Homo-oligomer: A and B are copies of this chain.
Amino acid sequence: MPMKPTDRKTEIINVAARLFKEKGYSAVTVRDIAQAMNIKAASLYNHIQSKQEILVLIVITIAEEFTTVMEEVQQSEASAIAKIERIIQLHIDITLRNPDALACLNNDWMHLEQEADLKYFLKMRTDYEENFRQIVKEGVRNGEIQHHNPEVIIFSILSTLRTLYLWYNKTKSLSENTLRNDMRNVLLNGITINAR
C-alpha cells in the first residue's frame, strides 16, 4: 500500500505543463519531456498512457477547479461586485499556484483529441462565462455596475484574468498583496481620476 501512488506521474505532469507553457502542446515531444526529467522517452510510458493523457489531466483538473468555485459564488448571497471580486481572487490564486497548467488550459485545450474530453471542457468553459454574464447583468440591473454592453465587460475582465500567467514572472517585483489589491481596483474602477 504505497503512500504516494502516482508521485512520479505528478512530476511528469508538472514538467510537461512547464514545457507546454513555453512551446505549446504540439511543439513539445515526449522526448523533450523525458529529457527534462533525465530519463528516456520510453520510460515515460511506465507512468502515463499517452502524451494526450497528460494534456487531459492538466486541462480538466484546472477547469474543474474553476467550475467548483464559480458554482459556489453563483449560489452565494453576495452582491454582484462582491461576486466579481471573489472571481478575481480565484484567478489570482490559481495563477500564483499553477501558472503552467493555466497557460496550458488557455492555449492547448483545442488539442484535446477525444470528443468527450473536448465537449466536457467546452461545457465547463461556456457555463463559466454564462455564470459570469448573469452576475454582470444582475449588477447592471440593480445599479451596482455601469450600463455597458455585458459582453464587453465580461471579456475585458476575463481576458485580463486568463492571461495573468503571462505577467506573473514580471510581477515578481510586485508583492502579492499589491497585485491582488491593484488588480481589483483597476478592473472594477478603471484607471482615470477625472469624473470621480
Binary interface profile of A, 46-81, with partner B (CB < 8 Å = 1, else 0)? Answer: 000000000000000000000000000000000001
Whole-angstrom distance from the CB of A122 to the nearest CB of chain B?
A: 14
Whole-angstrom distance from the CB of A164 to the nearest CB of chain B?
A: 8
Determine if B190 and A187 form an interchain contact, defined as CB atoms under 8 angstroms apart: yes
Whole-angstrom distance from the CB of A158 to the nearest CB of chain B?
A: 9
Enumerate chain B residues within 8 angstroms of A178, measured Cβ to Cβ.
149, 152
Enumerate chain B residues within 8 angstroms of A35, measured Cβ to Cβ.
none
State the oligomeric state as a number of copies: 2
A182 within 8 A of partner (CB) = yes
Binary interface profile of A, 159-196, with partner B (CB < 8 Å = 1, else 0)? Answer: 11011101100110110001100110111111111111
Whole-angstrom distance from the CB of A82 to the nearest CB of chain B?
A: 12
Whole-angstrom distance from the CB of A41 to the nearest CB of chain B?
A: 18
Whole-angstrom CA separation of A162 from B152 in the bound complex: 14
A6 within 8 A of partner (CB) = no
Whole-angstrom CA separation of A146 from B196 in the bound complex: 10
The DSSP consensus for interface residues of chain A is helix
Whole-angstrom CA separation of A183 from B155 in the bound complex: 10
A144 within 8 A of partner (CB) = yes
Determine if B143 and A155 form an interchain contact, defined as CB atoms under 8 angstroms apart: no
Given contacts A148-B185, A151-B171, A155-B167, 11 further A-B contacts (CB under 8 A): A22-B110, A24-B107, A27-B111, A107-B107, A144-B194, A146-B191, A148-B182, A148-B186, A155-B160, A155-B164, A156-B186
**Hey, which bits of chain A sit against chain B, CB under 8 A?**
22-27, 81, 107, 110-111, 139, 143-146, 148-149, 151-153, 155-157, 159-160, 162-164, 166-167, 170-171, 173-174, 178-179, 182-183, 185-196
